[in-house]
Amino acid sequence: MFSLFFLKKYKLVLAISFLLFIIPFSWLKLGEMDLGGDSNRLFFYDPLSSLTSYGIYSVVPYGVGELSYGQYFIPFLLFLSFLKSIFISPTILIDIFNGLKFSGSFLFVFLIIKELLNIEDGKNLTADKYAAGIIGALFYTFSPGVIDNMGVALNTHILVFLNPMIFYLLLRYLITHSLKYVWAAILVTLIFSVSFSIHAPPIYAFYLLAIAFLLLYNFLILQKPIPWKSTSLMILLFLGLHTYQIVPIVSNVFDKGSQLNTRVFESTANVNLGLEYFNAILSLGKVSDHIFMPLAEKRLSWSLIIIPLLIILGFLSIKKKNKTLLLVGVFFLITLFLTSAKITNIGVEFYRKLYYIPGFGMFRNFYGQWQWVHTFFYALLAGLAISYLFFQMKRKYIYLTCIVAIGFISVRSWIVFNGDVVNFTQRGSQNLKVIIRMDPQYEKMLSYIKSIPNEGRILHMPFTDFVYNIVGGINRGVYIGQSMPSLLVGKNDFPGYQTIDPYSEVFVKLVKEKNYPLIKQMMALLQIRYILYNSDEIVSSTFFPAFPYGHTGTPTSQSQLREFVHNISKKKIYEIGHYSLYEVDKDQYLPQFYAVSDTYVYDTNPKYDVEYARALSFFPKDPLDKNKDSRIAFIDREICTKILSRQTCDQNNLHTDIKDIQIIYQRINPTKYKLVIKNFTKPFLLVFQNDFNPYWKLYPVNVSINIKNVSDSYYNGEIIELTPVNQAIDRNPFETNNIKSLYDNTHIQVNGYANAWYIKPNNFSEKENYEMIVEMTGQKIFYYSFAISLACLLIFLLYGIKLFILNRTSDIIKSRTL
Amino acid sequence: MSNAKNAIQSTSFLGNRRAVVLSFIFIAVIINSIFFESNSDTIFFGLLGFYIGVVFFYKLRSKLTFLFCLTLLIIMFIEYLVTGTSLRTEKTAVWFFLFMATGIVQQWKEH
């Protein structure tokens, strides 16, 4: 009965909401996808592959495999997999989420405005409140924060509807003290975990202010005591559920040298990067833009005054004190200050001081990070102020104003109705669209790459200036975004300049010199075995004359690309359509594990950029003599002294006889390898070509390795690589517990990024053959946290059932007494 | 006695010139918005402080402050249409912000 009542009362709102939900279904034809951008959205295309490629393990599947806790994707990818099993088509999946962004944001902003108005004057919904609520909600839904960021949306863009939803649920909880609202809010944060990762700045930008508002609202207006006991329990349950992603990320924050650690504590460093970035982009903050809120298209710009004008007229029409309106007004001004950063010179200086607070550097991109919370409070202010204005007006004028305001908001946002919000030209291109229809031949290439039974990495050609992988569709659309071979197949690759660090500037230099022998040597040090060459004219400089090419200097025309690929590879091993996979000369390939024959000691030159040019300090000017063993390593002199004497390290070249040493290795999963070293009679440097991290450890075990599953052998059988097992879930996650790791104090960085251990046979008995497990122990942090989260999930679900039963019982009792 | 007389006379002097004082402030703000590009916190807070003093002295209502916000909004909008987010538009936006903040605080204390 209540549901029918709700439907009748809010039929117009529900109708608008439904219309907004179905609009995105007209943007894409079946089979088309909008996947590109800075964020990875390939999960719409294949959520299960995404889960196995990067959702479970703490090592990224691209570049040199650095540590990164991406497990916050897990619930969301499972949810997407479930939806995909029903709807099958990625197009429909994308449409559903776009529809939710519009209809969800509209519905919940309306409900919030309605709730605030009802509480303020104690009356139920009237026509003026209804109309004002619709205007405020549409103002939010069609704001630049929602529309302008839709095309190449970041993962956090879903927050445009999740934020109002959660805010509404928490508001209802404060009003009714009914825990079902909090339970629902927690469930939403779990399902949409991708947007609630604790290292995403938009979460803090919205919820710090939203919760402050709710607390003040409760204190000043509701004036009800908060049930702290049950609230605390729900907070604990929330934290318990999200432990699987909170604990690993928090541990990463306190890891000195990690990116997160640098970001959070840079305010205390000599160079405050957050403040520097803020100063650099300060001129982009515009107060007037955040008052008039123009879309990027700037259509009907003369209509931009309507909403702010109605708000001021609303303030003028108030006859008695309205605490809710004033409180929302204060938060509107606070968010305007934060998102524009240009309110007087004193305001700017005060803003700069904020960057000395640890963690505030995450808001360096201030106008982007604060825009959603600003739009949110702006919309609430609009709804409330306009309702008080309407209260003073006759009905016919209310309807007229509504038609004018809604008409202008809708017409101004015409790109939503005609699909241009996602169907626009790819940046830097000659009239190519961002929407693609996947090329079946590229899918076959991805399948082939997946079947490769070794760990050789891939270099993409053409090579972009950033992290982007560029792939054409069969509909003259082009995908520019995160790499598909890594995120869908789990194969480490280098699509662009920013992925090949610290060799980025080395590569630029060598390409300019056309020094192919040294390019091959660089590729060996990065474990590059394959070149994925895309000969489609659509991804070349013919259609992309500037972006995303230009800086690196690698060939971008197809004729030059062909020549370049032939010069750095040995043979083509697979070709389909525009896509070819080339392999390098095996004699120049350095596998994942190798014993070092010659170590070159160097002094780091501080003039080179730490991130992209570090390798310039040591990379040789001349290619290695072909007669010499190519199993080399470069080590900084100061680091060398950690494992060898100063006298030894003062030499520039150290030679080790590794003739009889045999290494056999097998990948179990991205965070675990089995390793056998045979004929180990003298000390040597063992290199493991993954990003250096102290969490990588060696454990002595008795491992059984089946030598029959040989994938490849190198250096006349001195290194044998077995076919990877690639377990989706580790079957023995705790097998190295209670085993002491070896050689932690001789674990160093070599080659600018890789792991190496200086190991001596003394630590063992008289054995010559040693079995070890090489493990990324940071993964265990996730396992323990996941166990806690699973237990909390059980409690959470049982509690939800209890709430449901209690609610039903109370509804039945109420209906009987009535 | 004469001091009290003088005080009453001066109060009456200001009391009778409320419109003049307010006009002076509003015109000063508008001239500063339209004709001067540089930002000066002295002028921002000096004029605003003077206005707040006048509000207390004359016990002015928030409606007047919001009326002035309305004027500033219209001026800002015209500047926005003609010159985009120029220095003048931004300056008017800052005045709008400051007066809106003043109006909200006033309205809170009223009623």
Helix axes A90-121, A11-22, angle to 10 degrees: 150
A581: phi then psi, degrees, rounded to nearest 5? -115, 120
What angle (nearest 5°) sits at the alpha carbon of residue A174, between those of residues A170 and A179?
70
CB B33 within 8 A of CB B93: no
Measure the CA–CA gap between A431 and A442, rounded to whole angstroms.
Answer: 22
Question: How many alpha carbons fall within 13 Å on the CB side of residue A157?
Answer: 26
Question: How many alpha carbons fall within 13 Å on the CB side of residue A175?
Answer: 15
Question: CB-CB: which of A287, A320, A345 is closest to B97?
Answer: A287
Measure the CA–CA gap between A215 and A355, rounded to whole angstroms.
Answer: 25
CB-CB neighbors (< 8 A) of B100 in chain A: 329, 333
| SS3 letters across A241-274 | HCHHHHHHHHHHHCCCCCHHHHHHHHHHCCCCHH
Rounded to whole angstroms, what are the CA distances from A235 to A186, A226, A798? 9, 13, 16
Question: How many alpha carbons fall within 13 Å on the CB side of residue A83?
Answer: 21
- Tell me, what DSSP letter sits at residue A569? -
pLDDT at A181 over 60: yes
Q: Does A296 touch chain B (CB under 8 A)?
A: no
More confident: A261 or A701: A701
Give the number of residues written for chain B: 111
For A611, residues 6+ apart whose C-beta sits below 8 A from its C-beta are A501, A502, A504
Question: How many alpha carbons fall within 13 Å on the CB side of residue A311?
Answer: 28
pLDDT at A176 over 90: yes
Chain-chain contact of B104 with A343 (C-beta, under 8 angstroms): no
pLDDT at A191 over 80: yes
Å between B46 CA and nearest CA of chain A: 12
CB A339 within 8 A of CB A290: yes
pLDDT at position A267, please? 60
Chain-chain contact of A315 with B76 (C-beta, under 8 angstroms): no
Question: ipTM of this model?
Answer: 0.90
Tokens found for residue A94? 């994308």
Chain-chain contact of B73 with A309 (C-beta, under 8 angstroms): yes
Å between B60 CA and nearest CA of chain A: 14
Å between A6 CA and nearest CA of chain B: 35
Per the prediction, chain A carries an average pLDDT of: 91
Q: Helix %, strand %, coil % for chain B, to 5? A: 85, 0, 15
Question: Beta strand A770-776 with A672-678: parallel, antiparallel or unpaired?
Answer: antiparallel
Burial of A177 (0-12, 13-18, 19+ CB in 10 A): middle
Measure the CA–CA gap between A81 and A198, rounded to whole angstroms.
Answer: 23
Averaged over A283-289, what is the pLDDT? 94
pTM of the model: 0.92
pLDDT band at A299 (very low <50, low <70, confident <90, very high): low
pLDDT at A733 over 70: yes
Give tens-digit pLDDT for A347-378. 999 999 999 888 898 899 999 899 999 999 99
Å between B99 CA and nearest CA of chain A: 11
pLDDT band at A769 (very low <50, low <70, confident <90, very high): confident
Give tens-digit pLDDT for B66-83. 999 999 999 999 999 999
